[in-house]
A and B are shown apart, each in its own frame.
Chain A
Amino acid sequence: GAVVSQHPSWVICKSGTSVKIECRSLDFQATTMFWYRQFPKQSLMLMATSNEGSKATYEQGVEKDKFLINHASLTLSTLTVTSAHPEDSSFYICSARGQDRGGGNIQYFGAGTRLSVL
């Protein structure tokens, strides 16, 4: 299947700093990428849909000024957590739509980023 690379896998930062997370589709172009947040023992919660060359679409309750998304190319989307606070500590995971060998559109996921804000 298609490969999605997410970096960094783990980040620890001080409260008030900003953290950038990168999501790359390595072997396919992705006009649409998705950013999710996951709390321990819970399911994935969609934060926003990232569209190449246009503004991201945020889900209700997600602060767009807090979670900046940039999808500057067909293979790269970034999520920046601005002025991070301890309550932003979570597991963030991105995904991109690619095609499986059967030709179906499948969402492939990155390995996720564990953010810990001290």
Chain B
Amino acid sequence: AQKITQTQPGMFVQEKEAVTLDCTYDTSDQSYGLFWYKQPSSGEMIFLIYQGSYDEQNATEGRYSLNFQKARKSANLVISASQLGDSAMYFCAMREGTSGSARQLTFGSGTQLTVLP
């Protein structure tokens, strides 16, 4: 089974609107971390936001927020007030185990977001 599933290969959003990028995950670990990264066409992977499995509040970072629904095993990324510069590929990722573990990230297949002027 896929550990990280991103069901939206492509999304379009109007500039200044909000958009939600879906991510569901599968793990039997009690302790895990969820991440979102942005990859523009230049290729660099830019860290956006992190949510720990024991964090009770949804993570927020500027215009980014993570809608964490533990029972549903979903960790959707919400981008508010979209900007043209938000156009990029977005990857959801999970690290199983505790924060201090050296385990690697598992990535979803990504969602290509295009912001329309």
Contact = CB atoms under 8 A, between A and B. Distances in A.
Interface string B36-62: 010000111111001010000000000
B110 A46 contact: no
Given A43-B91, A43-B109, A46-B104, A104 B47 contact: no
How extensive is the interface on chain B, given as a class? 20 to 34
Nearest to A108: B47
Interface string A1-42: 100000000000000000000000000000110100000001
Contacts of A32: 102
B105 interface: yes
B100 A105 contact: yes
A102 B57 CA distance: 14
Contact of A105 (B43, B45, B99): B99
How extensive is the interface on chain A, given as a class? 20 to 34
Residue of B35, B46, B95, B105 contacting most chain A CB atoms (<10 Å) = B105
A54 to B, nearest CB: 12
A114 B104 contact: no
A109 interface: yes
B107 interface: yes
B32 to A, nearest CB: 12
Contact of B50 (A44, A100, A109): A100
A3 to B, nearest CB: 11
Interface string A46-66: 100101000000000000000
Interface of B: 33, 35, 37, 42-47, 50, 52, 91, 95, 99-100, 102, 104-105, 107-110
Given A49-B104, A97-B102, 7 more contacts: A49-B102, A105-B99, A105-B100, A106-B35, A107-B105, A108-B47, A112-B43
25 contacts: A32-B102, A34-B104, A34-B105, A43-B107, A44-B45, A44-B91, A46-B104, A46-B105, A49-B102, A51-B102, A91-B43, A93-B43, A95-B45, A97-B102, A100-B47, A102-B50, A105-B99, A105-B100, A107-B47, A107-B105, A109-B45, A109-B47, A111-B43, A112-B43, A112-B44
A-B interface, 10 closest residue pairs, ranked by CB to CB distance from nearest: A109-B45, A112-B43, A111-B44, A43-B107, A105-B99, A32-B102, A44-B107, A43-B109, A46-B104, A104-B50
